[in-house]
A and B are shown apart, each in its own frame.
Chain A
Amino acid sequence: MSINLEDLPKTKFRGKNITLAHGAGGKAMRDLIDKIFVAGFDSPELTLLEDQARFDLSDLNKLGNRLAMTTDCYVVDPLFFPGGDIGKLAVTGTVNDLAVGGATPLYLTCGMIIEEGFSIDDLQRIVASMKATADSCGVRIVTGDTKVVPRGAADKLFINTAGIGVIPENSNILANRAQAGDVVIINGYVGDHGAAIVDARGELALEISTVTDCQPLNGLISEMLKVCPDIHCMRDATRGGLATVLNEFASSSEVAIQLDNTKIPVREEVRGVCEILGLDPLYLANEGKLIAIVAKDDSEALLKVMQQHPAGENSCIIGYIEAPSQGAKGSLKGKVILETGFGGNRMIDMLIGEQLPRIC
């Protein structure tokens, strides 16, 4: 989904760039907010132009008994990449952080730090992408803030979004609830986003065609909770990839997680990028992948529902939880072990530092 400028309302800003005046609090800023943000996000709370958005508690109470709140910053480079852009990412990322806790996401904020000289046409496209994504997730962007910093003080555009959602009474998803006998489920291919970003940076002139998996997960999760209200653990695997999330579950729950490498879905083209660069797909970033740990008895019905949802067509079981036994060199408590598919095992640790390519 790429937004064309021609499809958006023409404003007086067409072809112009952001200046420091657009962040100075005066008329230029007012204009930018009205024409680009308020018009673009088009939500009743924002149109009131108060300093805060206001919600009726009784409406929230109908959805559950707990509020969930989260925030995330988005600094992706490049801003536009195959299958998405920073705006789409800023909405799905925060929506997904709410949804994987079992919450129904409702409202988002949007803070933007813009570098002087940034194209207002690109800004309008990004706002439109945020709006379209928010609509598709059923959330509204209800308040925001804009700052402009001098050239060089930020890289083009940074976005922060915070989100609020409501958690239904019967859901209790926690990282420490994995127990022996549970299974590990993923909703599709790993590493697409990481590979797409490497590709989009264009430093490597790769002839591949990976697109980001950037997608909202709240629709899928709401279907999952209908058939399996008692999901034990669930997180979305973003930076640090599948490996990081599973390590968090293993150590919080004090269990061992056994994975089967032959079951973990990785696209051919992503494997190719990893082979060339010496990267490990298990550590590559995703932006639309959740890892759920559920009781084995629940897994069959759950998988069936997931596979019927567009965001979960390739869902599958990739491993299971073991009681921590003794290995030859100490306890397996808190460890993630991968059966390599070649006859041996290897440990999957947390990522240390950045994932750096090997030289030879």
Chain B
Amino acid sequence: MLKNYLKIAWKVLLRRKFFTFISLFGISFTLMVLMVASSLFDHTFGPQMPERDTDKLLFVNMMREQIKDSYTSSGPPSYYFLDRHVRTLKTPEQVSINSVPSQVNSYINNRKLALEIKYTDQKFWDILKFNFLEGSAFSRPDVESANRMAVINEHTRNQYFGDAPAIGNYIEVDQVKYKVVGVVEDVPVLRVHSYADMWVPITLKSQDFNKPGLRGFYFATIMARNASDIPAIKKEYAQMLQTVERQQPEKGTLLTSYPDTFLESIARTFLSNGTTSGLPKLYAILVALSLLFMLLPAINLVNINISRIMERSSEIGVRKAFGASSSTIIGQFLVENVFLTLLGGLLGFALSALVLSLINDSGLIAYANLGLNLRVFALGLLFCLIFGLISGVYPAYKMSRLHAVEALRGGTK
């Protein structure tokens, strides 16, 4: 039966090429935009290099101090806080402390090269899965001895060293020379917890270590033993926060800080008061936006489909006469419409691949490497199905309601 439906769906598409073009254009354009958005989303929040185990990773990137009846101040936490209270948590497998990237300048052939530098410990390299193109990360003794060593990204290597070898040579930034020990694949700027142009031992920033405040310029990257430990880590973190000494205890300072996935931290920052995760709200907004975006082209497709019904009234009459019930007719039309949408989806995939490569080449997002992976493909397929059903249900229902006798006469009802 399915073969028969698909056969007829294909013939119907070929019959009115202009209608088909309009339908496919609408579908593929809509799906292209949704797939580009999905790819961007996956690129930012999905399991991508170097944050491959996103289900086991949490980040601490915010500390909010709220003084009762007075000001609220928030920003990244301090090394002092992370070292004393987060690194000592029992539940996580590993905790890394690393700085917020800051800008430094380098000069090569009288040309300024602005670079983002990140100070990290050795655990950073254990937790995150960077693609090393040359060399390796600096070792624990290097960190402990505060050796001036650096891992740089591919882009910086090409800019600074050109064709010359980088490993073992020195890169000078802000008048300080670092020996290059590793070159990694570029990390996209949207991976804010891992991204930088060069990474150097955190001990080179030891002047920050004993500043007693709770707020500073550091992140913690927490790795759970397995994904199921995440709630326990969050619980332990919340308990720990209760015990942290307040800066102004007499005024009742309220501390707010959470170990979150990157998506959670975005949702918490923009969609909640800071104490709730905001993630359900974020998902609801994303789903609503996607549906809204699909609605207009779906209405367009509904109109085209309805006008096509009249052309096929004789067929509907015949099918009913020979034993198709209304629900069978609905099923047939939905299958046909999903088939059309999947065709549009295929075109949409091709178009989005093109658009993504244009975005990658444009440099609009630094080191972007947007692409269509299995997750984006599955999401695209889901969009196709939803779109196919939204745009097919009403015409299919209308089609099934055609009275067999009227349908055989030419479909006046």
A in complex with B: no
Residue ranges of A at the interface with B (Cβ–Cβ < 8 Å): none
Where the two chains meet, the residues of B that have a C-beta atom closer than 8 Å to any C-beta of A are: none
